Homo-oligomer: A and B are copies of this chain.
Amino acid sequence: MSELKNDSFLKALLRQDVDVTPVWMMRQAGRYLPEYRKIRAEAGNFMNLCQNPELACEVTLQPLRRFDLDAAILFSDILTIPDAMGLGLYFEAGEGPKFRKPVRTAADIDALPVVNAEQDLAYVMEAVKLIRRELNGSVPLIGFSGSPWTVATYMVEGGSSKDFATVKGMMMNAPEMMHELLGKIAVSVTDYLNAQIRAGAQAVQIFDTWGGALSPHNYQTFSLNYMEKIIQGLTRENDGRQVPIIVFTKNGGLWLEQIANCGADCVGLDWTINIADARKRVGDKVSLQGNMDPAVLYAKPEKIREEVAMILEQFGTGNGHVFNLGHGIHQHVDPEHAKVFIDTVHELSSQYHR
């Protein structure tokens, strides 16, 4: 592998010195980019795009051609694992993901195989290798997975949900079944992330999109616990460097102290928390990633600059900040506004790293 030219992202995750605050955007390879929409249309459907390593590589690299990003993130989906387990993932136009065979009974859960990622998700590993080759050491590549709880919500509900009636019903009425399911997903995610690291991922993020829908004790028991187990099972080394781990629970701001203790190197923040408060609460335990409201990218460039300046000032001097949006970039954002955002982070952050 060629030497890494820009390692500020990896350094910031591990709270090491950097010259400017690194920045990337969740969902940076996506529908707001016309060049993405073109490839997406040619691929026919979303899963074709994920499962074709050349196309996945191409869309991963698209935002890096436009913007001065400090990291690339593998283009894939958090539901590749249940798809590999045989649930039959599909996407219908204008709707969220769906499964042909949702998981509802003890027998459904017993029948679920644990994923062997290198075999069952070989297309992901090929994409990782291809992206690393194409990146050629310019910036690090982030691998990722959904959290067990988040993935389980889709598996049990059979798709997206507003109130999580079925999966929360299972959690409360049959907790042992829920643990069986989460355990299988956690083993699969561990294998999946380790395979991504072996294939070349230089950092990994666990997306816990729906952990924030739980009450505090259920979050600990049914979401955070399984992320801890995964982290304990990860090989944290690639090319002789430590592979940092980011955990992002949307709406998890009330539980920061617990999350900071889960073994991750970095905690992702959504925009509902003041990052100064977050930093006080986690101390030296972890670095922080975030946390501009993605809707700020609808604002005029001056306003985007103002918000970036405010968050940089809130975080203050010193290390341990990776700038990001507080959630994925929205579909209708003007790519020029994303450029303003990224350039401003670099321009205004150097003063905090002297």
Contact = CB atoms under 8 A, between A and B. Distances in A.
Contact of A298 (B169, B215, B326): B169
A294 B163 contact: yes
B215 A164 contact: no
B173 A212 contact: no
A37 interface: no
B172 A295 contact: yes
**Which one of A218, A219, A254, A274 has the greatest number of beta carbons of chain B within 10 Å?**
A254
18 contacts: A163-B294, A163-B295, A165-B295, A165-B330, A168-B295, A172-B295, A173-B298, A173-B299, A173-B303, A214-B293, A215-B293, A216-B272, A217-B310, A218-B293, A251-B272, A253-B253, A253-B254, A254-B273
Interface in A118-161: none
Nearest to A292: B215
Given A251-B251, A251-B272, A169 B295 contact: yes
Given A165-B330, A254-B272, 20 more contacts: A163-B294, A163-B295, A164-B295, A165-B298, A168-B298, A172-B295, A172-B296, A173-B298, A212-B272, A214-B293, A215-B271, A215-B293, A215-B326, A217-B274, A218-B293, A219-B272, A251-B251, A253-B254, A254-B254, A254-B273
Interface in A285-337: 293-296, 298-300, 303, 310, 326, 330, 332
A253 B215 CA distance: 12
A276 to B, nearest CB: 10
B299 A172 contact: yes
A172 B273 CA distance: 18
Contacts of A310: 217
Could you say how many copies of this chain the assembly holds? 2
The DSSP consensus for interface residues of chain A is helix
A25 to B, nearest CB: 15
Contact of A272 (B173, B215, B277): B215
**Which one of A164, A169, A219, A273 has the greatest number of beta carbons of chain B within 10 Å?**
A169
Interface string A157-186: 000000111001100110000000000000
Interface string A186-222: 0000000000000000000000000010111111000
B172 A272 contact: no
A163 B214 contact: no
B168 A293 contact: yes
A299 B166 CA distance: 10
Contacts of A165: 295, 298, 330, 332
